[in-house]
Amino acid sequence: MKITVLTESELRKCVTLDQESLAAVAEGFSYLSKGKATVPPVMRILVPERRGEVDVKSAYIRGPESFAIKIASGFSKNLDLGLQKSSGMMILISSQTGFPKAVLFDNGYLTQVRTGAAGALAADFLARKNIETVGVIGSGTQARYQMRALKLVREFVRLLVYGIVSKEVECYAEEMSTSLDVEVVIAGKAETVVRESDAVVTTTPSREP
């Protein structure tokens, strides 16, 4: 039995955040709404002594020849070891035999693309067509993917960002200004972002400030 193994760098070359990825996520939502998808509860393993968490997620759609099982982890104390906080991989399973077909060492990349695409699809259905100013609360990786994906469905020209770590927000503003070719303004309060934006995206689990 041959199993294909793909690394993050290889996956980045063949999967990008574009209209094709948006269409794939939209198709998945369509299957779910039609009752053709089985989505079991998330299995979560907590490792409190390392401030860690491992989640196992999957779904099965009747029709396609395979489905995936995702294993994603986040260990906050990894930063003390000079390691990144999160990691992840997926195993592609044959819907015909149950045998593994591929191992995708995406390190969370595919999740970032999928989440960004899902946000853009929601905005495409819910936000008005002529938005000019978009607000984002948070300045991490997903804040980047959300704005890149949103740019695929809305031609906004101004981006308001709020975050609690000044250096990270400044880096984010500079990067997004260049990559999206929009005016980026750093807001002093989350309230400012909400009040002055035509659409708002939140990309942080924080409940305060």
3-state secondary structure of 37: strand
> What pLDDT was estimated at residue 206?
76
Q: Which stretches in the chain have pLDDT values below 50?
A: none
pTM value is: 0.90
- For the chain, how long is the longest CA-to-CA vector? 57
Tell me which of 3.30.1780.10, 3.40.640.10, 3.90.380.10, 3.30.2310.20 is the CATH number of domain 4-111: 3.30.1780.10
φ/ψ (deg, to 5) at 72: -125, 140
DSSP state of 42: P
Q: Which pLDDT score, from 0 to 100, does residue 208 have? A: 73
| Residue 123 one-letter amino acid | A
- The per-residue pLDDT for 201 is 97
Q: Which residues are catalytic?
A: 70
Domain span(s) for CATH 3.30.1780.10 in the chain = 4-111
Q: Helix or strand or coil: residue 66?
A: strand
What pLDDT, on a 0 to 100 scale, did the predictor assign at position 209?
A: 66
| pLDDT for the residue 160 | 98
Query: What are the distances in angstroms from CA 93 to CA 44, 71, 104, 126, 194?
Result: 21, 14, 11, 34, 43
| CATH class assigned to 127-202 | alpha beta
Q: For residue 126, what are the CA distances in angstroms to 1, 86, 119, 178, 191?
A: 46, 31, 10, 27, 21
